[in-house]
Structure 1
Amino acid sequence: MGAVPRAATGEQQVTLDFQARVLADSVSPEGHRLTTLEATFPRFILAEFNTHRVFSRNSASSRAIPVVKQLRRILESPFVPLEFGSNQPGMQAGPPLEGEAEAAARAEWLAARDDAVRHVLALVTTPGFVGPEDELPVALEKVEAAIKDPERPSEWLNVHKQIANRLLEPFMWHTVIVTATEWDNFWLLRDHPDAQPEIRRIAGLMREAWSSSEPARLAWGEWHLPLVDESDRGSPEIATEIDLVKVSAGRCARVSYLTHAGKRDLAADIELHDQLVESGHMSPLEHPAQPIGPSGAESPVWRGNFKGWCAYRKRIRGEANPLAQGTIFELDDLELKPRRGGSQGKAAA
């Protein structure tokens, strides 16, 4: 099957594979290291990845990515297992298939991909809109044009992406932003011969990226800020350092849509941060963090998931549900003050 034509869309073809890179790497004055990594791996091992509870993470969302964009990725660069292990009792597969057997297994996997794509095309239009003889790349362009047509038939199924995209998940690549101070248990369990080959591959790449990175030494009060660079720091749009913290959180949230590495728009990132806090979507606020001081208000050593670091989220009063207290709080000089509604007095972090 050929690649999906791009003349009409102007989009660049995407080739996905196992990838890991460091987005930010910092060490506190007391020697605690905090690292933010971006990792791309098969969607079907996300559940295993998410069992590691000391990770703060955000990732691409099947509910957020448009169906046509997801279908194009599946057709151009589907996930195919690293190997097709032979069946045997237990959790580990036997020797991988080779030769004609491996080729047959791969062909069946891709045939299942094609079937899933056809069912999704039917869900977002209507059964029969794409015929069995239609080549899938051409069918996708046909469906994309039809979806944009305001005169499309009202009897279409027109199923939302939060349902339609689920059929594609076995063939998806998935991108995660993860921040942590503790990695040893992840390396031990996942970068191990007994681990499933796919999670072992990404764990090895993450470990290699982490091991080869040189963390920046931060002073008390300085911020670990993933996805913020020197051009952001010098921008006239940044009034305070807290604006940079908001930018970092907003960009980490954009991984849900796979737009975190796209065009930089500081005002839009800050606005997204504010929308997230107002609606109680707090996980992106776990990636920016400050070192925990040796005593006083900044103790104990552990704060949430991190050892020796305090995530920005932990400085939001009522961070599990900031609306429960009737006010949204904003960080200001390591204190919290009401941004709208509620009391006008200062609140301790």
Structure 2
Amino acid sequence: MTITATSVLASVNSEGKRIDTMLLRYPRFIHAEELTHRIIETQPECLFYEAIADGLMYCDDLSRSASSSRAVPVLRMIADIERDPVAPSFWGANQAGMQAKQELAGAALQAAKDCWSMAFRDMIEHAKALANIGAHKQIVNRILEPFAHINVVVTATEWDNFFALRDHADAQPEIRALAQAMKMAMLAAPVQHLDLGQWHLPFVSPDEIRAHQGTMDPTGNLRIVSAARCARTSYLTHDGRKSSLDEDVALGERLTRSRPFHASPFEHSASPYVPGFHDETDQRNFRGWVQNRALMEKAA
């Protein structure tokens, strides 16, 4: 099982306000989040969220884009699960309340692990059978999810509430482990300094930014490229191939043109907020940074 957090990009504005984008990988079973108007998307190239009021990605301060099991080919998802299957990191014993304080031990612990392994093997066989019947991946992959990881891009300027609740003794152990990994990734990240008119562009390289300098719209296409890569949570396509710049632009434009507008991937790019130059509401869930999605929706 994998629980990791990697800094994609960290930026700070002239007022010292920082914005971080991270790429996370963790068990899908801790991802469930509450239903809000801002975080539900079902575009196959984009996002899928479970509408459950629990889990890791519930915080309104966070902008996030998650890999969708509807978009991953079945055999590729099975291969990923067989290579890196999910299992609990703490085998808690049943008790009243949400937190398991004591872990199973001895024969009970081994029996629990054996049951989990049997369920895992059965799930793989049932998924393969469904695929052989000809069922679509949006059906087959659902029964793979309890043993699968999810890749998530998350961007925020306000982290205190998230960490206070998730890096806590009462949090589910896997959630706390991820929150601690996120803290470490933020501490180790190099930080770029940006001024008015410059952009925090996750998954866009410095070479790509330099190549667009001096053009009529130096960051316009790159904001689209960044959104496309955030939607995929990677530079790679869902079949594991590195996307071309033209493919990223095409995907970003499809997300822009779709109705309803699939806007969440455009939340990750941001520019320093300057009072008097920007509307305060353009920050949305950020502080000190104007969110690209806000500007796009205002211009629409």
What TM-score do the two structures reach when normalised by structure 2? 0.85
Q: How well do the aligned residues superpose, as a CA RMSD in angstroms?
A: 2.2
Establish whether residue 46 from structure 1 lines up as the match of residue 31 from structure 2. yes
Matches of 2:234 and 2:95, distance apart in 1: 37
Establish whether residue 178 from structure 1 lines up as the match of residue 154 from structure 2. yes
Matches of 2:228 and 2:4, distance apart in 1: 22
Matches of 1:29 and 1:92, distance apart in 2: 43
1:312 positional shift: 1.2
Q: 1:50 to 1:236 in 2, by over 3 A?
A: closer
Give the percent of matched residue pairs that are identical in Structure 1 and Structure 2.
42
Instruction: After superposition, give the CA deviation of every residue in 1:284-316 in whole Å (9 maximum; x if it has no partner).
Output: 1111110111224x1327621111111111111
Match of 1:125 among 132, 135, 142: 132
Match of 1:251 among 220, 229, 233: 229
Q: 1:212 to 1:194 in 2, by over 3 A?
A: same
Matches of 2:288 and 2:242, distance apart in 1: 33
Q: 1:210 to 1:258 in 2, by over 3 A?
A: same
Matches of 2:235 and 2:244, distance apart in 1: 15
Establish whether residue 215 from structure 1 lines up as the match of residue 222 from structure 2. no
Establish whether residue 314 from structure 1 lines up as the match of residue 294 from structure 2. yes
2:237/2:243 contact within 8 Å kept: no
Show the counterpart of 2:254: 275
Q: 1:236 to 1:193 in 2, by over 3 A?
A: closer
Show the counterpart of 2:50: none
Matches of 1:161 and 1:264, distance apart in 2: 22
2:225/2:249 contact within 8 Å kept: yes
**What residue identity is the alignment partner of 1:190?**
R
Matches of 2:262 and 2:274, distance apart in 1: 27
Establish whether residue 201 from structure 1 lines up as the match of residue 205 from structure 2. no
2:229/2:235 contact within 8 Å kept: no
1:252/1:287 contact within 8 Å kept: yes
Instruction: After superposition, give the CA deviation of every residue in 1:292-348 in whole Å (9 maximum; x if it has no partner).
Output: 11224x1327621111111111111457xx5xxxxxxxxxxxxxxxxxxxxxxxxxx
Matches of 1:229 and 1:123, distance apart in 2: 41
Equivalent positions of 1:315-330 (< 5 A) are: 315-317=295-297
Q: Which has the higher contact order (CA 8 A, sep 6+)?
A: 2
Match of 1:265 among 244, 247, 259: 244
* SS of aligned partner of 1:49: coil
1:234 positional shift: 3.8
**What residue identity is the alignment partner of 1:267?**
D
* SS of aligned partner of 1:64: coil
User: 5+ unaligned residues in a row in structure 1: which ranges?
Assistant: 1-15, 127-157, 323-349
Equivalent positions of 1:1-349 (< 5 A) are: 17-47=2-32, 48-126=55-133, 158-235=134-211, 239=215, 240-255=218-233, 259=237, 263-279=242-258, 280-296=261-277, 298-300=278-280, 303-317=283-297
User: 5+ unaligned residues in a row in structure 2: which ranges?
Assistant: 33-54
* SS of aligned partner of 2:266: helix
**What residue identity is the alignment partner of 2:286?**
F
Instruction: After superposition, give the CA deviation of every residue in 1:122-146 in whole Å (9 maximum; x if it has no partner).
Output: 21223xxxxxxxxxxxxxxxxxxxx
Q: 1:192 to 1:317 in 2, by over 3 A?
A: closer
User: Could you say which structure has the larger radius of gyration?
Assistant: 1
Matches of 1:316 and 1:214, distance apart in 2: 29
Q: 1:105 to 1:220 in 2, by over 3 A?
A: same
Q: 1:237 to 1:295 in 2, by over 3 A?
A: closer
- Give the paired residue count: 273
Matches of 1:78 and 1:311, distance apart in 2: 36
**What residue identity is the alignment partner of 1:313?**
R
* SS of aligned partner of 2:120: helix
* SS of aligned partner of 1:82: coil
